[in-house]
Chains A and B, each alone.
Chain A
Amino acid sequence: MNNILVFKTNIQSEEDLLVIERLLTGMEVDDWNVDRKDIDCVLRIVSNTVTECQISSLVTEAGFFCEELL
Chain B
Amino acid sequence: MRTRNTVKEELVKQKAIELIVKDGLENFSVNKLAKACGISVATLYIYYKDKDDLIVKVAVEGARQMSAEVLKGFDPDASFEEGLRQQWRNRSRHMMENPMAAQLFELLRGSTYHDEVYKVIVGDFTKSLGAFMENAIKRGEIDPLPMEVYWSVAFAPMYNLVRFHNEGKSIGGRRFTLTEELLWQTFDLVLKALKK
Contact = CB atoms under 8 A, between A and B. Distances in A.
Interface residues of B, number: 15
Interface string A34-63: 110111101010000000000000000000
Interface residues of A, number: 16
A44 B2 CA distance: 14
Interface in A15-48: 33-35, 37-40, 42, 44
B128 to A, nearest CB: 35
B1 A42 contact: no
A66 interface: no
Nearest to A36: B50
B165 interface: no
B42 A33 contact: no
B30 A42 contact: yes
Contact of B1 (A3, A8, A69, A70): A3
B79 interface: no
A44 B41 contact: no
A67 B94 CA distance: 43
B41 A42 contact: yes
A33 B49 contact: yes
A38 B51 contact: yes
Given A37-B50, A69-B40, A44 B45 contact: yes
Given A4-B2, A35-B30, A40 B41 contact: yes
A70 B50 contact: no
Contacts of A8: 41
A6 B44 CA distance: 10
Contacts of B1: 1, 3
B31 interface: yes
Interface in B51-77: 51-52
A4 B41 contact: no
Interface of B: 1-3, 29-31, 40-42, 45-46, 49-52
* A-B CB proximity, top 6 nearest: A35-B50, A6-B45, A38-B51, A69-B41, A69-B42, A6-B42
20 contacts: A1-B1, A1-B3, A3-B1, A4-B2, A6-B42, A6-B45, A34-B50, A35-B49, A37-B50, A38-B29, A38-B30, A38-B31, A38-B50, A39-B31, A40-B29, A40-B41, A42-B45, A44-B49, A69-B40, A69-B45
